Chains A and B, each alone.
Chain A
Amino acid sequence: MTARITAEGRTILLEGEIDVANAPEIAEAIRTACAGGVEVAVDMGGVTFIDSSGLHALHRAVASQAGARLVLVDVPAHVLRIMGILGMDRLREIRFRSRAG
Chain B
Amino acid sequence: MSDQVLSLGERLKQRREELGISQAQAARELEVARTAYRLWEMEAAKPAPDRWRLISRWLGMSVATMLLAEDLVDEGEARQAEVITGRFGPLRWDEEGGREGGEYFDQERALISRAVHEGRLSTGESADLMAVLERIQLRTRQRRTTGWRDAELRKELPADPSAPALARAAVVVAAAGVPEHLLLDAELLTSELVTNAIVASPDDAEGITLHVLVSEDVLRLEVVEPTVPSTGPPAGAADGRDLRLVIALASRWGGAREGDTYVTWFELDLPRGSSGRPA
Residues of chain A at the chain B interface (Cβ within 8 Å) = 1, 15-17, 19-21, 45-49, 51-53, 56, 59-60, 76, 78, 82, 85-86
Contact = CB atoms under 8 A, between A and B. Distances in A.
Contact of B22 (A21, A46, A53, A59): A46
Interface of B: 22-25, 33-35, 38, 161-162, 164-165, 168, 181, 184, 187-188, 191-192, 195, 198-199, 238-240, 242, 244-245, 248-249
A53 B165 CA distance: 12
Given A1-B165, A49-B187, A78-B184, A19 B195 contact: yes
Nearest to B162: A21
3 A-B pairs closest in CB distance:
A21-B161, A46-B24, A51-B191
26 contacts: A15-B22, A17-B165, A19-B161, A20-B198, A20-B199, A21-B162, A21-B165, A46-B23, A46-B25, A47-B24, A48-B23, A48-B24, A48-B35, A48-B38, A49-B187, A51-B164, A51-B191, A51-B195, A53-B195, A59-B238, A76-B34, A78-B181, A82-B188, A82-B245, A86-B242, A86-B245
B162 A53 contact: no
Contacts, number: 75
Contacts of A48: 23-24, 34-35, 38
Given A48-B38, A85-B248, A19 B24 contact: no
Contacts of A86: 242, 244-245
A48 to B, nearest CB: 5
Contacts of A20: 161, 164, 195, 198-199, 240
A85 B246 CA distance: 10
A45 B198 contact: no
A85 B244 contact: yes
Given A49-B187, A52-B195, 9 more contacts: A19-B164, A19-B195, A21-B161, A52-B240, A53-B240, A78-B184, A86-B242, A86-B244, A86-B245
Contacts of A59: 238
A86 B188 CA distance: 13
Contacts of B191: 19, 49, 51, 53
Contacts of A15: 22, 24
A45 B34 CA distance: 9
B161 to A, nearest CB: 4
A56 B38 CA distance: 24
Nearest to A84: B248
Contacts of A85: 244-245, 248-249
B63 to A, nearest CB: 27
Contacts of B199: 20
